[in-house]
Amino acid sequence: MFLSRSKFSPSVLVFLFTILLFTGCKMDDDNGGGLGLNSNLIGTWLYTDDWGTDGYTITANKVSYISDWFPIAGTIRYVNNFTGSAGVIIIEYDAQHSDPKGNFIGIYFRNLNSGVSVQMGTAWTEEGAEEPTLAAAVEAFTAGNEGAYMSYYGTYLWTD
């Protein structure tokens, strides 16, 4: 026997809402590995020249930029792998670093050579590249917008 439309619709909607509630997008999960972080990025990547050393330390859920002039650190909130060796990691700044424009920033990478080298750079514009929400950051830091934020990539060597 068929259910009446008035009894069927609410029960289906409740069921679908329950499914979405428990399986929805987990872009704000603390586990970067669960967000598709390329495990070959995990480690410390350094560049050294006469001016000093800078680099990135990446774990399954955090990224730290090591620098004398502008160190940053944050929790990985989203990863977009454009290819097997290129993409963007979006982090939310840790509490000690906040920016009036927003607390989400993209860190682009390309030419990943596992255990050897990678080219990386933090998104930058004169007005500030930070975004106020994760959704805005996901929309801003894409493969198509890479040129708007990246004019220079540093080449970093894997150290551990």
pLDDT in tens, the chain (160 residues): 444 444 444 444 334 333 333 333 333 333 344 579 999 999 999 999 888 899 999 999 999 999 877 888 999 999 999 999 999 999 999 977 767 788 999 999 999 999 999 999 999 998 889 999 999 999 999 999 999 999 889 999 999 7
pLDDT for 69? 78
Q: How many CA atoms lie within 13 A of 53 on its CB side?
A: 8
* Structural domain that includes position 143: 26-158
Does residue 33 sit within a domain? yes
Does residue 14 sit within a domain? no
Q: How far apart, in whole angstroms, are the C-alpha atoms of residue 109 and residue 120?
A: 4
Q: How far apart, in whole angstroms, are the C-alpha atoms of residue 101 and residue 131?
A: 6
Number of domains in the chain: 1
pTM of the model: 0.77
Does residue 116 sit within a domain? yes
Sign of CA pseudo-dihedral 62, 149, 95, 119:
positive
Does residue 10 sit within a domain? no
Does residue 21 sit within a domain? no
Does residue 17 sit within a domain? no
Q: How far out from the chain centre does Cα 89 lie? A: 2
pLDDT for 98? 67
Does residue 75 sit within a domain? yes
pLDDT for 34? 52
Does residue 8 sit within a domain? no
